[in-house]
Amino acid sequence: MPLEEYRRKRDPRRTPEPVPEDVPQTAGDDRFVVQEHHATALHWDLRLERGGVLASWAVPKGLPEDAETVRMAVRTEDHPLEYLDFHGEIPRGEYGGGRMTVWDSGHYETEKWNDREVAFVLHGTRARGRFVLLHRPGERQDRWLLRRTREQPGSAAPGGAPLPRAVSLAVPTPADRLPSGHGWQVRPVFGGQRVLVRSDGGRLTLHPADGGVPGAAVPAPAPLRDLGPALGAGGHLLDAELTDAGELWVADVLHTGGRDVRPLALADRRAVLEALPLDGPHRRVVPLYPNSGGPLLDAVRGQGLPGVVAVREGSAYPEPGGPSDDWVEVRVDDTTPAPRRSARRPERPGGAAPRTGHGRASLSNPDKVLYPATGTTKADVLAHYLAVAEVMLPHVDGRPATLKRWPDGVEKSSFFEKNVSGHAPPWLRTARVGTPGGRSESADFAVITDAEGLAWAANLAALELHVPQWRLGPRDGRHPPDRVVFDLDPGEGTTVVDCCRVAERLRALLDEHGLAVYPSTSGGKGMQLYLPVRVTEPERTAEFAREVAERLAAEHPRETIAVMTRARRRGKVFVDWSQNNTAKTTIASYSLRGRERPTVATPLTWDEVHACREPEDLVFTCDDLPARLEEHGDLLRPLLDTEGFRLPRGGAIFEVPG
């Protein structure tokens, strides 16, 4: 039945989306819409009218602007024609929850349409040209590729240039005075860190001026996270400065709209720059002033700014390789010429700035190496936990933490610590919690509520933080569990790749019952899947997880097992349901692991799970997390934003809903 899957996934009482009863009889097959969809992760939905419905693909980074770039596109359920102009806020917790707007619409021409290839020409305001969707043999049915063809119809703009992967920012020539005469424009310098701003498909990353290679990103302040979506689905490279206050001042543009604009004259680049959506509370374009010599420098000095850069009118963006005579920097806080100074903290060997602690938490022996294979120190561990604090804390707040400590580094012995009463500072929240089966009846657990608590744990070389699936109340009473965790543990002869295949089956099983589950690496060999729930009986979560594990094992006995016996797990993935026992804990999201490398328990997108073909595909270290958070934000945020699902009655997981 047309739109059957669409209707099954939506409750018209809870979503503003159109949920029509019938599919209209229509002879038209030429309309399209592209919608910008701020769901769990930002993406663009391409919808083509076909047979009375809208055939739909979710494109994480939007339509490509050039013929070299290939985008992933996920075939989703058909949508009703009413979606051609739908925009609005889908409630969080509902399928596709988040804001949706119409990015572009118009009509299109079909050149080819079959199960493996859809070729079409878009005639929109923003989306124009010939594109092709390709489905490769052997791939999942919903996995497609989208590209812009090299040959374009006469009405479409020619394909652009792909966004460069590595770009160097121009280097001005130090000088003790401004150039004489006219023909120069002058802009102030704000004393911050010079960064290359890269926005690709709505994902924003910042890269230090001394290396524009993706992966060397620095964290962007939270107020700047809307800049990527504001710039849209295209690719952009900007020359900017990030101040200590988190203000982004954009001075120039290198690439935008599929064009390398560096060869353009200053005035033309400036016009392109000012057309971009860069005005905001924490971002703006650097002002340009005509060269007035001394009075201009006096005005800059009076505002407490460190200097200016003079740019020759008519000049292109300078080529990399050394200082340019078309760019001249003058310091107003120096009496002699000096090269551009960095606003970053002094670096120590290994690249990280030394830290003495955070707030009331001190850090002893910051240079002590805890991961010998990578040279990662205690200061680096602290830096990681401070970098992830904003996203990690909501997942551990209120949960008694078990610390796993490596005081002499990961190559030496470690131990678990539950009772911290002997050395916890007075400002750290602790909670006396029962420990059935432990050495004593109860222990004083640390409850990490803020970045100071993370810093305190880092100082103890507590690389790993483990928490239960339930929270404490304000008087330290236990609330019922708010999550179900499925811990996928690869047996001998299997890897996280096998876990991904089991994860996909588990997701499909839960989807039959309207339950959404969210994946994460463990930071080790396996992975976890989390389901937000509402229960009144604490034991119900473990019972439900066991039912799910046993059904998977029954349907896929060669790949999956639901019993703990290690000898029977060879060649299979163990779905460990027992982690939902209220006495058990699981590695906290964003926690480091005490492995050879400083790997991190990292939330994933389902696209990454689908695409995993090698174990290394899903290995993330502390160095990967800043750029990853800028691209995805907290992928487990839905665990916090939803009320939680009510679990099916006992035994219902073995039934397939009609």
pLDDT band at 356 (very low <50, low <70, confident <90, very high): low
Which domains are seen in the chain, by residue range? Answer: 3-20+27-148 (no CATH), 181-318 (3.30.470.30), 362-640 (3.90.920.10)
Q: Alpha-carbon dihedral of residues 626, 346, 186, 265, nearest 10 degrees?
A: -50
- What would the mean pLDDT of 219-241 be, rounded to a whole number? 86
Extended strands (E) in 316-399: 323-331, 357-358, 361-362, 369-371, 376-377
Q: Which helix (H) or strand (E) holds 296?
A: helix 294-302
Indicate the range of 49-58, 146-155, 484-493 predicted with least confidence: 146-155
Instruction: Look over the chain and give the mean of its residue pLDDT values, rounded to a whole number.
Output: 87
pLDDT higher at 569 or 478: 478
Report which DSSP code applies to 367: T
Q: Check pLDDT > 90 for residue 599.
A: yes
Span 140-167, average pLDDT:
81
**Residue 355 predicted with pLDDT over 70:** no
C-alpha Rg value of the chain to the nearest Å: 28
Q: What whole-number distance in Å separates Cα of residue 221 and Cα of residue 218? A: 10
SS3 of residue 574 by DSSP: strand
Share of the chain residues as helix, strand and coil, in percent rounded to the nearest 5: 20, 30, 50
* Residue 34 pLDDT: 96
pLDDT at 438: 62
Q: Give, as one character, the DSSP assignment of residue 478.
A: B
Residue 176: its pLDDT value, please?
A: 87
Residue 427 binned pLDDT confidence (cut-offs 50, 70, 90) = very high
Q: What percent of the chain has pLDDT over 70?
A: 91
Cα four-point dihedral sign 635, 636, 640, 645 = positive
Collapsing DSSP to helix, strand or coil, 298 comes out as: helix
Q: Give the mean model confidence (pLDDT) for residues 238-262.
A: 92
Q: Span 276-289, mean pLDDT?
A: 90
Answer whether 493's CB lies under 8 Å from 502's CB.
no
Q: Confidence class of residue 654 from pLDDT cuts 50, 70 and 90?
A: low
pLDDT over 70 at 352, yes or no: no
Q: Is residue 345 predicted with pLDDT exceeding 50?
A: no
Q: How confident is the model at residue 95 (pLDDT cuts 50, 70, 90)?
A: confident
Q: What is the pLDDT of residue 257?
A: 86
Asked whether the predicted pLDDT for residue 371 surpasses 60, the reply is yes
pLDDT digits (tens, 9 = 90+) for 486-532: 999 999 999 999 999 999 999 988 887 888 899 999 999 999 999 99
* pLDDT confidence tier of residue 268, bands split at 50, 70 and 90: very high
List pLDDT tens digits, range 534-579: 999 999 999 999 999 998 888 888 899 998 777 778 899 999 999 9
What confidence score (pLDDT) does residue 604 get? 95
Residue 245 has pLDDT above 90, yes or no: no
pLDDT in tens, 175-186: 988 888 788 999
Please state at what angle helix 625-632 crosses helix 378-396, rounded to 10 degrees: 30
Residues 122 and 131 sit within 8 Å (Cβ to Cβ)? yes
Cα dist from 38 to 85, 101, 242, 382, whole Å: 16, 9, 26, 32
Nearest Cα to Cα of residue 87 among 124, 51, 45:
45
Question: What would the mean pLDDT of 123-139 be, rounded to a whole number?
Answer: 89
Q: For 60-91, what is each residue's pLDDT tens digit?
A: 889 998 888 888 888 999 999 999 999 999 99
pTM of the model: 0.52
Q: What is the DSSP string of 114-173?
A: SSSEEEEEEEESS-EEEEEEE--TTS-TTEEEEEE-SS--TTSPPPBPPPPS-----EEE
Indicate if the pLDDT at residue 114 is higher than 80: yes
